[in-house]
Structure 1
Amino acid sequence: MADVLTNPRSDRVRSVRSLAQRPVRQRTGRFVVEGPQGVREAVRCAADRVVDVYLTDQAMERYAADIAAPARAAGLWVHQVTDEVLAVMADSEQPQGVVAVVEALAPSLADVLAGSPGLLVLLTHVRDPGNAGTVIRAADAVGAAAVLVSEASVDVTSPKVVRSTAGSLFHLPIVTGLPVESTLDELRAHGIRTLAADGGGTTLLPDADLSTPHCWVMGNEAWGLPEQVRAHCDDIVRVPIVGKAESLNLAMAATVCLYASAGALTFGT
């Protein structure tokens, strides 16, 4: 292990901090993972893409067995840093003492479709990092084959999205930059039904056909799905609301729909 990094103004520290900026991430093909859960999963599931791991003295002791040791065993660079250095590297206001720099992966829609996926979710023009990260985490939890993200959506390698996935970013393919309507056409050509999740849908979620391969299409937080996108889908499905809540937010609705799909595909219910 290298000497302890103590200078928060060093070139190395500045280069890590600069990855909070989207143009820098795009230019370098790298992003930052913060927190023990995210870094642990990066080391466990994507060690070949981990460039460096940074831990404070306290974090080095606390996560010796599940982060530091596995990282070294994988031949990764593990650096000890001061709290001040870690605070500069991290984007969050209360960093947890662990940061990693990881190379971004760019799977294609063709890669995903080659695996004959049974369950997908397509985020269309989703802008909120927390929503995007939560949907990725939910898709991971139910065993979805991939998450598809349209062009003009939030960058899934942004610090807030990465943190909100809690490591799920490293568990399933995330395909980004997709044009919505041509993606829907491609899914249909591969026998995958497209289900628009929309509060104005005529099909209630309990009545939707979820027994065959399908993709949930989720809209923007503010304006939902445009009419041309809804018309392009095979069905428009709404989550029934029996209480007084006006609606569910994007992440909640996606989670409910994904779990309904997982139940139908796994248990035939």
Structure 2
Amino acid sequence: MKISKQKYSLLQLLKNKKYRYKTGLFILEGEKIIKDAVKFGADFLFVAYSQKFIKSQQEQEFLNHLKNKKIEIYEIDDADLEKVSELETAQGIIAVAKMFEFSKDDIINKLQKSKKATVIALDRISNPGNLGTIFRICDWFKVDAILISDMSVDIFNPKTLRATSGSVFNVLFLKDVTLKDELTKLKSIGFKIFSTAPTGKIDYHKVLTEDKIVLIFGNEAHGVDPELVRISDGTIKIKKFGQAESLNVAISAGIILSARAYSIYER
């Protein structure tokens, strides 16, 4: 069945953040992330595919799998899909699903019961690619939870989702949080909190053996908010040996979280 004008219009409108949050819907584009969403149990409104998508029997079997799950499937013209696609070259399949969220109480209870835990707090991250990449890094290094400040880029932004490469479904997160309040709660249940900064006073290796730790990564241009630095137990840095002016926030997260994972899982 061909996609209706109403559903096609919805694909166009959901590029806008305000409309995403007004409707509670978001777009998924590409076979991999749609497969990840199905595995996660996302609530789909519909999936639309073009003839470009069906390259072999494998793609047809995937569409049949979606139909068996009672997900509405529609056909869309290649040219129309290109118009709504956020990709340079559309992959031939796009979906609309309901936004999801994790329970704050469940996350806090899990963290409270854990003997060791790693939480990442993201303060006003503005670049979708950075946020998405940090999700992939947190997934790889088994981070327990991500806290995303209310001034950060939208996790349901199509560019952010694409950069997560499906890891958005694998890591617990809370979005639009007031970091000061949440960090104060975590402090009360035994977490040590460290802000990251190029001018930090402590080498990051020295704090990685803490049982429960929150690592704050700040805005690409301005760093961690001074108010959050004040409630931290210290500021940590990655020592510079060369001439580069700075490190990308996602790269910094990868360096520190790699060492943190080894300190927990490879002892």
Amino acid at match of 1:152: M
2:52 is aligned with 1:54: no
Q: Indicate conservation of the 8 Å contact 1:198/1:238, yes or no.
A: yes
TM-score, normalised on structure 2? 0.91
Equivalences for residues 244-263 of structure 1 within 5 A: 244-263=243-262
The correspondence for 1:74, drawn from 69, 74, 88, is: 69
Q: How many residues align?
A: 262
Amino acid at match of 1:60: I
Q: Indicate conservation of the 8 Å contact 2:123/2:225, yes or no.
A: no
The whole-number CA distance in structure 1 between the counterparts of 2:17 and 2:136 is 22
Amino acid at match of 1:143: K
Shift of the 115–67 alpha-carbon distance from structure 1 to 2, 3 Å rule, reads farther
Deviations 1:186-219 (A, max 9, x none): 1111222212111111111222233412121110
Partner of 1:231: 230
Q: Which runs of 5+ in 2 are unaligned?
A: none
2:208 is aligned with 1:209: yes
Q: Indicate conservation of the 8 Å contact 2:133/2:163, yes or no.
A: yes
Shift of the 69–210 alpha-carbon distance from structure 1 to 2, 3 Å rule, reads farther
**1:103 Cα deviation after fit:** 0.8
Partner of 1:120: 119
Partner SS state of residue 87, structure 2: coil
User: What's the RMSD between the two structures over aligned residues?
Assistant: 1.8
The whole-number CA distance in structure 2 between the counterparts of 1:67 and 1:232 is 49
**1:65 Cα deviation after fit:** 6.3
Q: Which runs of 5+ in 1 are unaligned?
A: none
Shift of the 233–66 alpha-carbon distance from structure 1 to 2, 3 Å rule, reads farther
Partner SS state of residue 252, structure 2: helix
**1:259 Cα deviation after fit:** 1.4
Partner SS state of residue 254, structure 2: helix
Partner of 2:2: 4
Q: Indicate conservation of the 8 Å contact 1:195/1:235, yes or no.
A: yes
Partner of 2:151: 152
Partner SS state of residue 59, structure 1: coil
The correspondence for 1:17, drawn from 12, 15, 18, is: 12
Partner of 2:94: 99
Partner SS state of residue 114, structure 1: helix
TM-score, normalised on structure 1? 0.91
Shift of the 143–73 alpha-carbon distance from structure 1 to 2, 3 Å rule, reads farther
The correspondence for 1:110, drawn from 85, 105, 109, is: 105
Partner SS state of residue 92, structure 1: coil
**1:83 Cα deviation after fit:** 0.6
Q: Indicate conservation of the 8 Å contact 2:132/2:164, yes or no.
A: yes
Amino acid at match of 1:132: L
Q: Indicate conservation of the 8 Å contact 1:162/1:169, yes or no.
A: yes
Partner of 1:30: 25
